[in-house]
Amino acid sequence: MGVDAVFNPYDLYVRDRPVVDGGKTNEEGSEMLVSDEFGGGHETWVRVERLEKPLCGQSRPIFFRGVATIVTKLFNIIEPDVAVFGKKDYQQWRVLCRMVRDLDFEIEMVGEPIVRERDGLAMSSRNVRLTAEQRQQALSISRSLKEAEEAVKMGESDASVLSKQVRKTISEAGGDIDYVEIVEQESLKPANKLECPTVLAVAARFGSVRLIDNVEL
């Protein structure tokens, strides 16, 4: 889920079946197809101001207001009891959890672990845009996160030491780093020491392809 997918879906994704206006539910109530695009301008936004600013928000300042707005619209339409989101975009996960809390949605939010390819690369629709060489380079992200996780298990708790090593591994592989940061899991505030639950989050480009990944520490 992302702002680009919301505003430019036909530029990014192949649709296997026609898009219809409104929704359709089968007899068992197990399927609903909804197409909702912002035509004619859009003036109302949902923002989770503090959580949308760090990490990806530094280079994509309006990204999360689009995510929060479209997910709010979706929740209002389908009124779910449970919503499941992957944790690959960890910031998005935290933004949406806070949004649900602050807007008093009676929805159970479930975060699912990152799903990975066999070689360790976090699954993403963008992976197909990597050349064979770039894909090998991109494996430096998951490799560096695994190394950091192992270092923590061995007793390392200094965030700067861990971040520096991750940066080194990705840079040496040819990645153009957007950020490597260790932040508190719930607040996304920078952490100097691993004294509470934290997440090590990474964004880097290989060619024109921007990838994100993380590991909870």
Residue 13 and residue 107 share a domain = yes
Residue 129 and residue 108 share a domain = no
Q: Residues 83-126: pLDDT tens digits?
A: 999 999 999 999 999 999 999 999 999 999 999 999 999 999 99
Given a cut of 90, whether residue 32 has pLDDT beyond it is no
How sure is the predictor about 39, in pLDDT bands with cuts at 50, 70 and 90?
A: low
Helix (H) or strand (E) segment spanning residue 200? strand 198-206
What's the domain count of the chain? 2
45 in a structural domain? yes
The tokens describing 53, both together, are 């600013």
Residue 149 and residue 96 share a domain = no
What value does the CA radius of gyration of the chain take, rounded to a whole number of Å? 19
How sure is the predictor about 3, in pLDDT bands with cuts at 50, 70 and 90?
A: very low
Token look-up 């064979």 returns 132
Residue 108 and residue 47 share a domain = yes
Residue 42 confidence (pLDDT): 75
The tokens describing 172, both together, are 């040496």
Output the 3-class SS for 104-139.
CCCCEEEEECCCECCCCCECCHHHHHCCHHHHHHHH
**Region 18-32 average pLDDT:** 47
Following DSSP, what letter does each residue of 39-99 receive, concatenated? Answer: -S--------TTTTSSGGGGT-TTHHHHHHHHHHHHHHHH--SEEEEESSSHHHHHHHHHH
Q: What is the mean pLDDT of the chain?
A: 88
Q: pLDDT exceeding 70 applies to what percent of the chain?
A: 82
Lowest mean pLDDT among 1-15, 35-49, 173-187, 195-209: 1-15
70 in a structural domain? yes
Lowest mean pLDDT among 12-16, 77-81, 89-93, 97-101: 12-16
Range of the domain at 30: 3-112
CATH number of the domain where residue 8 is located: 3.40.50.620
Residue 43 confidence (pLDDT): 87
CA distances from 111 to 5, 54, 93, 101, 191 (A): 21, 20, 7, 15, 22
- Higher-confidence residue: 156 or 18? 156
CATH number of the domain where residue 161 is located: 3.30.1300.10
Burial of 202 (0-12, 13-18, 19+ CB in 10 A): buried
Given a cut of 80, whether residue 6 has pLDDT beyond it is no
